[in-house]
Amino acid sequence: MTAETAASPLAPEWLAVPADLNALHAPMWAAGVERNDAGELAIDGIPVSELKARFGTPLFVMSETDFRARARAFKDAFDAAFADICGGVDVYYAGKSFLCTAVASWVAEEGLRLDTCSGGELAVAARAGIDGANLGLHGNNKSDAEINRALDMKLGRIVVDSLDELERVAKIASARGEVAKVMLRLTPGVHAHTHEFIATAHEDQKFGLSMAEDSTEEAGLSAAEEAVAAATAYPSVELLGLHCHIGSQIFEPEGFALAAEKLLAFLAAMQSKYSITLPELDLGGGYGIAYTPVDTPRPAAEIAQAMAAVVRSSCAELGIKAPRISIEPGRAIVGSSTFTLYETGTLKTVRVDAPAAALAGAAGGENVTFPRRYVSVDGGMSDNARPVLYDADYSAVLASRTSLAEPQLSRVVGKHCESGDIVVRDVYLPADVAAGDLLAVPGTGAYCWALSSNYNYLARPGVVAVRGGAARWIVRGETEEDLLNRDMGVANV
**Residues 100, 244, 417, 448: which is the catalytic one?**
417
Q: How many CB atoms lie within 10 A of CB 11?
A: 18
> CB of 70 within 8 A of CB of 451?
no
What is the chain's percent helix, strand, coil content, to nearest 5? 35, 25, 45
For 390, phi then psi, to 5°, come to -125, 10
d(CA 407, CA 3): 11
Beta bridge partners of 375: 347, 412
d(CA 126, CA 178): 20
Q: How many CB atoms lie within 10 A of CB 300?
A: 24
d(CA 114, CA 67): 14
Question: 197-216 burial, b if ≥16 CB within 10 A, otherwise e?
Answer: ebbbbbeeeebbbbbeeebb
d(CA 39, CA 37): 5
d(CA 374, CA 426): 10
Helix (H) or strand (E) holding 105: helix 101-109
- Look up residue 288 and give its amino acid: G
Active-site annotation holds for 417:
yes
Q: Please give the DSSP secondary-structure letter assigned to residue 458.
A: P
d(CA 137, CA 127): 16
d(CA 429, CA 442): 14
Helix (H) or strand (E) holding 107: helix 101-109
Active site residues: 417
